[in-house]
Amino acid sequence: MSRFPKRPQLAFRPLKEQRTLQATLLRRHLAYCARSSPFYRRVFQTAGIRPGAIGLDELSTLPFTDKADLARHNDEFLAILPDRVVDLALSSGTTGKPNRIMYSERDLQRLAYNEELSFGACAVNARDTALLTCTMDRCFIAGLAYYLGIRALGATAIRNGHGSLASHVEIIQTIKPTVVVGVPSFLRRLALYAQEQGLAPRRTSVRKLVCIGEPVRGADLRPLKLGSDLQKLWNADVFSTYASSECVTTFCECPARQGGHLHPDLAIIEVVDEAGRPVPAGQPGEVVLTPLAVEAMPLVRFKTGDISFLIDGPCACGRRSPRLGPILGRKQQMLKLRGTTLYPPAVFAALDEIPQVGECYLELLPHAELSDELVIHLGLRAALPLSRLREALQARLRVTPTIRVEPEEHIRQQIYTEASRKPLRVIDRRKAT
């Protein structure tokens, strides 16, 4: 079997050249879906779609695919014989039953190339040693992806996964990694723990933090408090990433930190409004991805449920492909509070600006037909009158949510659970109604 083709300089080429190649790859992708995927064969035939007639400008005429489709028709998405599946990941489904995402050997080569480009964009190279604080077990694809990407670059990977804070600190002291990959709120906890043990994170070997799973920048591309904290605590460059497990696609910042770079030979990105219509660059909407050259479970116009915006124009790093802005929220977590539309990241950004606020999580509750209820559970590092807390949030959010001050240890028990790979900072109880 031939190796997956690499085009590491494509993002630097003129946009017209990139689009010409994308159009070729899209036609090839759609023809493969029509021929090999039972799901898309049926969808295309029912809708009278002729894949050969679809170019980049016609992509928006094709139907969307979403997680509900994956849940209802999971087996129909497999486009290869089962004995060619070499790895399997589980992604959260819409019915509580995880969706199976399967990969061929060629898909894993594609995954390694994707991560090689992403890590390379944020200046990781073969001289680096990377501490991976994300798990490779429990059918979690991201941990495997990062490991493959680090290997593809020729860098050294330390697979400590979900190790204890103490074990991570010991590795930092003894092996001296230059890069740490992890969830940003965990990396902040790790830095604070290291300080408690008498180790100053900013004086260690760590010079780059690659942040996954949580935003560290706001809509204006400036660091959120979490991002600023990480930079100060570690004295390291902080890079934000965005990934979709189903689409096996990652967007990673470069040193300019002006959005996550698209790999044009691996995916086509759209941002659409509530009606499913593409919106212009700079306008927020739902991120839709069409991953190219996927073999086992190809997808077409997959709705991620994430809200963000596109950034066009050349980047200072020289890449000319579109970039993806920070994730502003999850579509399913959108709140309607007394006429104001709100996403959880905006609440966390407001809380981050209040120094006395420690650990916190949000509880989303049904309230009335056209409104929701937001309860903020938080711990305080220092005394702060509840009235001042309400005033600060009202000024930023334009609404005053319900606030419950609780012991920080109780808050941590709700956030960091064995059942979840990521900190559980949003509990949406509206789904049960």
Residues 227 and 269 in one domain: yes
Cβ distance 133 to 162 under 8 Å?
yes
Q: What 3-state DSSP class applies to 401?
A: coil
Residues 317 and 406 in one domain: no
Handedness of CA 134, 138, 139, 144 (dihedral sign): positive
Quote the CA–CA distance of 193 and 210 in Å, as a whole number.
19
Quote the CA–CA distance of 199 and 187 in Å, as a whole number.
14
Q: What is the pLDDT of residue 93?
A: 55
- The residue out of 288, 306, 327 marking a domain boundary is 327
Quote the CA–CA distance of 279 and 245 in Å, as a whole number.
24
Residues 303 and 344 in one domain: no
Q: Which CATH number covers residue 404?
A: 3.30.300.30
pTM for this predicted structure:
0.85
- The residue out of 293, 310, 327 marking a domain boundary is 327
Quote the CA–CA distance of 364 and 358 in Å, as a whole number.
20
Quote the CA–CA distance of 51 and 34 in Å, as a whole number.
7
Token code pair at residue 65: 């695919």
Residues 158 and 55 in one domain: yes
Q: Which CATH number covers residue 219?
A: 3.40.50.12780
Residues 351 and 422 in one domain: yes
Residues 299 and 380 in one domain: no
Token code pair at residue 85: 């599946």
Quote the CA–CA distance of 258 and 323 in Å, as a whole number.
8
Residues 249 and 366 in one domain: no
Residues in CB range of 239: below 8 A, 6 or more apart: 122, 208, 209, 210, 211, 252, 253, 257
Residues 183 and 77 in one domain: yes
Residue 124 DSSP code: -
Q: What is the pLDDT of residue 163?
A: 82
Q: Which residue, among 347, 349, 119, has the nearest Cα to 216 in the 3D structure?
A: 349
Q: Report strand pairing: 208-211 vs 237-244.
A: parallel
Residues 250 and 177 in one domain: yes
Residue 430 DSSP code: G
- Reported in sequence order, the residue ranges of 12-136 that DSSP labels E, i.e. its strands, are 87-91, 99-103, 129-132
CA distances from 42 to 46, 73, 235 (A): 6, 11, 54
- The residue out of 327, 346, 375 marking a domain boundary is 327
Residues 214 and 344 in one domain: no
Residues 370 and 345 in one domain: yes
Q: What is the pLDDT of residue 2?
A: 73
Residues 259 and 392 in one domain: no
| Domain, as residue range, for 80 | 1-327
- pLDDT per position in the chain (433 positions), as tens? 678 999 999 999 999 999 999 999 999 999 999 999 999 999 999 999 999 899 999 999 999 999 999 999 999 999 999 999 999 998 765 445 678 999 999 999 999 999 999 999 999 999 999 999 987 777 788 889 999 999 999 999 999 988 889 999 999 999 999 999 999 989 999 999 999 999 999 999 999 999 998 889 988 999 988 899 999 999 999 999 998 888 888 899 999 999 999 999 999 999 999 999 999 999 999 999 999 999 999 999 999 999 999 999 899 999 999 999 999 888 888 888 877 788 888 888 889 889 899 889 999 888 766 678 899 999 999 999 999 999 999 888 888 889 999 998 999 888 987 766 678 888 888 865 4
Quote the CA–CA distance of 198 and 194 in Å, as a whole number.
6
How many domains does the chain contain in total?
2
